[in-house]
Chain A
């Protein structure tokens, strides 16, 4: 894959949060939330990021969106490095990149009507002179977007509390579509929804992608959801990507011990299969990301660890045809 086709190219992204010190004193340190992440997303592709809480998947999305100023690294959208743009230029560039959030209750302003929520991005960009649209055009687009995401346009004067969780998520999606972005960053957009509604929203994401040629960075902790929606999948653990490959390959032949454990732990809704399955039960919890690592990030919980895993950090290396894994089982330390 050459760089020219990539819509989004993330290189060496790090996001560290300092803590402690200050007025309250206490131990000074850093949370290594994202600790060196590289990936790219082709136009029209869906890259899924999967991992457990605290692995840095949401922080990655927020750092890509420049909601945080990354500690290090580059975020190239259409070849433009967002980390180096002035605030005014960044706003212009961000038009091509929108976000959908997890909690459809917290991410919609309860005092705004559905129509105003969807119109807000357009109004902001219009006020700044970036978007040329008349009031009427905006109104028409609100109605078009609402119908497109499966909401009646007659609901545009209703407030968020009058909608169910699934409908609210549709409002959030319509808002994300308002500026005709190329890339949508979806941060756990179906995790708060009931199973029957989750399927509706996942299908909506797929339909919109086909219709508008959208590119998704799709974050979820549910492996089955990620498999359904993604063309390629990255598995994160403790702030790094441990494995990345085409979705079909990753699920058929997971290479990293963590990916293997994750897949074996996820329940399958079929009692017969569940009885036959062998689980890899990991011991312990995810360690706190509050220190720099000198060895493999998964060392503490890995059941296949070797001596060399403690002393050097495995890098992502290609094993075959686009399947990359960061594990010394497959490649030796440099």
Chain B
């Protein structure tokens, strides 16, 4: 990890208009990604982690969605202001994505070769033969045995873990600067998950790719990520290095989240500490801390307005009224 920031998101807001009201899926998210960094975004379903990443590459379906504000600066250029043609040169090339379910992101009717070569020919301007060689080389890097044979097969001929390896090979084929991995192992078994995470870590380190890893699993981020953003109801409530956050989580939500995961290395306790209540309904959310109905430290002010983030040093920032005053 270096100090060179390659991606900077500033005050990103993505809203969806629905019949029930305005859904502020992402509401003022800012983050920075450095070269070679692995940044984790954790949060529960509906917290806005996937929408954040779709917004970064400007792929929000509109309508109903709309990027209502903010900037996404990639190497100094705002991706949100780019024309369709320019952004297509970035997507899949400089910034690529892998998704949770490799079966739905691969076209079942096309051979792996067709799907991989398309990207390579388009972005790298290689001829067919050279593109196929490059594709085979990437499959080999991704640990697929006999890639020269496998490349002519169809997605259904691969197992779940193997398909995810194909996705990783495709994602990294154009040597992107940023790889966005949205729950890449959530559909996989633990023993396969361990293989895939190791592969992502090793390959991106070798190619110098920065990674944004979206996951709901605290175990996965603990093992892989340099830095961490914890999202709740469309906002980042806590950020910092993974070590700092796990050593001393500050936000009541982060604390609750870490405590409520049963741990393999700790003998079973009698009761798991849990966070009370239900996940928030993000429709027409008032300007308050969205966590206050579930928060054990909730105060009067939490119901009235949203706190600024407090700085705990070395990038550890927390948005909570417990700290806002003393460190404003």
Binding site for B on A (CB under 8 A): 52-53, 164-167, 194-200, 202-203, 206, 221-225, 227-229, 247-248, 251, 261-274, 279, 281-283, 285-286
Identity of the chain B residue whose Cβ is nearest the Cβ of A225 in the assembled complex: B262
Q: A206-B271, A267-B220, A269-B246 are in contact. Are A166 and B264 (CB under 8 A)?
A: no
The smallest beta-carbon distance between A196 and chain B, in angstroms, is: 4
Q: Return A286 CB to nearest CB of chain B, in Å.
A: 7
- 8 A-B residue pairs with CB within 8 Å: A52-B189, A195-B260, A196-B274, A197-B274, A223-B264, A224-B261, A267-B220, A268-B223
B221 to chain A, nearest CB (A): 8
Q: Are A267 and B260 in contact (CB under 8 A)?
A: no
Nearest A residue to B145 via CB reads: A284
9 A-B pairs with the lowest CB-CB distances in the bound complex, closest first: A267-B219, A199-B274, A269-B218, A52-B189, A199-B260, A194-B44, A265-B194, A196-B275, A274-B223
Q: In the complex, which residues of chain A have a beta carbon less than 8 angstroms from the beta carbon of B242?
A: 271
Quick check: is B80 within 8 A (CB to CB) of the other chain?
A: no
**Contact for B279 among A164, A261, A279, A282, CB less than 8 A:** A164
By a CB distance below 8 angstroms, the chain A residues around B263 are: 224, 268-270
Contact A164 B278 (CB under 8 A): yes
- Besides the contacts A247-B268, A262-B190, what 7 more A-B pairs have beta carbons closer than 8 Å? A194-B279, A195-B44, A223-B190, A228-B269, A263-B264, A269-B221, A282-B191
Cα separation A224 to B221 with both chains bound (whole Å): 16
Among A52, A194, A272, A283, residue most surrounded by chain B Cβ atoms (within 10 Å): A194
By a CB distance below 8 angstroms, the chain B residues around A53 are: 189
The answer to whether the Cβ of B198 comes within 8 Å of any Cβ in the partner chain is yes
Answer whether A273 and B265 are a contact pair too, CB < 8 Å, given A196-B274, A199-B260, A281-B198: yes
The CA of A248 and the CA of B275, in the complex, are separated in Å by: 26
Given A269-B246, A271-B223, A271-B243 in contact, is the A285-B262 Cβ separation under 8 Å? no
Q: Are A199 and B275 in contact (CB under 8 A)?
A: yes
Query: Is B162's beta carbon under 8 Å from chain A?
Result: yes
B44 touches A266 (CB 8 A): no
Closest B residue to A51 by beta carbon equals: B189
Which applies to chain A's interface (DSSP): helix, strand, loop or mixed? Answer: helix
Give the Cβ gap from A135 to chain B, nearest Cβ, in Å: 31
Is there an interface contact between A265 and B218, defined as CB atoms closer than 8 Å? no
Residue contact A199 to B273, C-beta cutoff 8 Å: yes
- Cβ contact within 8 Å between A195 and B271: no
Interchain CB contact under 8 A, A274 and B222: yes
Residues of B within 8 A of A166 (CB): 278
Q: Is B193 part of the binding interface, using a Cβ–Cβ cutoff of 8 Å?
A: yes
Interface: B217 (CB within 8 A)? yes
Find B194's partner among A206, A272, A281, A286 (CB 8 Å cutoff). Answer: A281
Interface set, chain B 234-281, CB cutoff 8 A to A:
242-243, 246, 256-258, 260-265, 267-276, 278-279
Contact of B217 among A165, A199, A267, A286 (CB under 8 A): A267
Chain A residue contacts of B192, Cβ below 8 A: 52, 285
Q: Give Cα distance in the complex from A227 to B191, angstroms.
A: 18
Most buried by A among B192, B262, B265, B278: B262
Task: Decide if B216 touches A167 in the complex (CB within 8 Å).
Answer: no
Query: Any chain A CB within 8 A of the CB of B159?
Result: yes
Q: How many Å lie between the Cα of A200 and that of B192 in the bound state?
A: 28
Q: How far is the CA of A267 from the CA of B191 in the complex (A)?
A: 10
Q: What is the minimal beta-carbon distance from A102 to any residue of chain B, in angstroms?
A: 14
Q: Are A224 and B194 in contact (CB under 8 A)?
A: no
